[in-house]
Amino acid sequence: MSHHVVFLERDSIKVKVRRPNFEHTYEEYAHTAPDQIVPHLQQATVAIINKVQLSDEILAQLPNLKMIAVTATGYDGIDISACRKRGITVANIRHYAHHTVPEHVFAMVLALRRNLLAYRQEIETGAWQKSEQFCLFTHHITELYGSTMGIVGEGAIGQGTAVIARGFGMRVLFAYHPSPKKKDVVLTPFDQVLAESDILSLHCPLTPATRDLIGIDELRSMKRSALLINTARGGLVNEAALVQALDEGLIAGAGVDVLTVEPPANGNPLLDLRRPNFILTPHVAWASNEATQSLADQLIDNIEAWAAGKPQNAVT
């Protein structure tokens, strides 16, 4: 059987993507607007997507579609129950960013704990140049050794973050939330992790149970000296609550790589923050050259495995 493969968001991957090794026709689009989804996929048996939303209503208009290959780990934009009902296989990407995301986490952590942004501002305003001694002691610098890192999500990225944390001599707590996973890891009650963590790093999927996982009540229960790091999904953190927490000094700082709506074309409260204790990056924690190529290779591996009748990384 010949398949028709359609890549709806080719510009979402910056590296070479090989073609599948089975008989097929192929189309790709740099990006696809919501009203273009059905026309672009009308003849597709295989859809390659990133952030495109595939609802039950849209899937009902695509009778030829048999497989959805997601170019990411998260698949919250796809109606999974509708795919199951229609016999559509959905496969995602796994274990490709377990080095690059933890490295980004600690790039943020180190910059915040050592106040690098604040010290850079001091140099730009000439404070060091006017100092009467060789160094400038205007901002606190705190070591990671001996502090506690709380991690929500004990998958490959959460585990990778824990490895680096332990390398710094940190104590690691994996949070028991929203439900325990059957893995060889000790879980700690979520409330205890919030209260004891010097750094809280989020690495869990966005689901109805985890949306607004971190709101104002959770931020109030954290140490005032704590940092919040989110490189997972924007909807895990209530953004208005985070602004309030930083304004009121409820936590010491935050590093964020993801927002609730991306790109934030219509604004976002976090875009307006200009603080040395807040870092915002444009959803690039995953995007090292090495990780992106691994993703692209696994993407086609998933499609080829499905076509051969041996699906891998399937979520349906």
Predicted confidence (pLDDT) per residue in 234-255, tens digit: 999 999 999 999 999 999 999 9
List the one residue out of 37, 87, 33 whose CA is nearest residue 58: 37
Residue 180 predicted with pLDDT over 80: no
Residue 55, helix vs strand vs coil: coil
Q: To the nearest whole percent, how much of the chain has pLDDT over 70?
A: 98
Per-residue burial over 19-54, b if 16 or more Cβ lie within 10 Å, else e, is: ebeeebeeeeeeebeeeebeebbeebbbbbbbbbeb
> Average of pLDDT values for 297-301?
98
Q: Dig out the tokens for 50 from the structure.
A: 């990133």
Strand locations in the chain, DSSP E?
3-7, 24-28, 46-49, 67-70, 89-91, 148-152, 171-176, 187-189, 199-202, 227-230, 253-256, 278-280
Residue 262 designated active-site: yes
- The mean pLDDT of 142-157, rounded to a whole number, is 96
Mean pLDDT of 164-190: 88
Mean pLDDT over each residue of the chain, to the nearest integer: 95
Catalytic residue among 99, 196, 283, 304: 283
- pLDDT tens digit string along 58-84? 999 999 999 999 999 889 899 999 999
Higher pLDDT, 259 or 74: 259
Which entry of 233, 239, 248, 275 is annotated as an active-site residue? 233
Burial of 123 (0-12, 13-18, 19+ CB in 10 A): exposed
d(CA 304, CA 316): 16
Q: What is residue 137's three-state secondary structure?
A: coil
pLDDT recorded at residue 139 = 93
Q: 131-165: b or e for each residue (b if 16 or more CB lie within 10 Å)?
A: eeeeeeeeeeeeebeebbbbbbbbbbbbbbbbebb
Q: Which domains does the chain have, with CATH numbers?
A: 3-96+290-307 (3.40.50.720), 100-280 (3.40.50.720)
pLDDT at 181: 66
Catalytically annotated residue among 262, 275, 290, 304: 262
Which pLDDT band, with edges at 50, 70 and 90, does 315 fall under? very high
Cα 289 from Cα 14, distance rounded (Å): 8
pLDDT tens, residue by residue, 118-147: 999 999 999 999 999 999 999 999 999 999
Active site annotation includes 211: no
Pairwise CA distance, residues 223 & 127, whole Å: 30
Q: What is the 3-state secondary structure (H, E, C) of 219-264?
A: HHHCCCCCEEEECCCHHHECHHHHHHHHHHCCCCEEEECCCCCCCC
What pLDDT is attached to residue 212? 97
Q: What is the pLDDT of residue 185?
A: 87
Q: What is the pLDDT of residue 254?
A: 98
Rounded to an integer, the average pLDDT of 273-298 is: 96
CB-facing half-sphere around the CA of 223: CA atoms within 13 A: 15
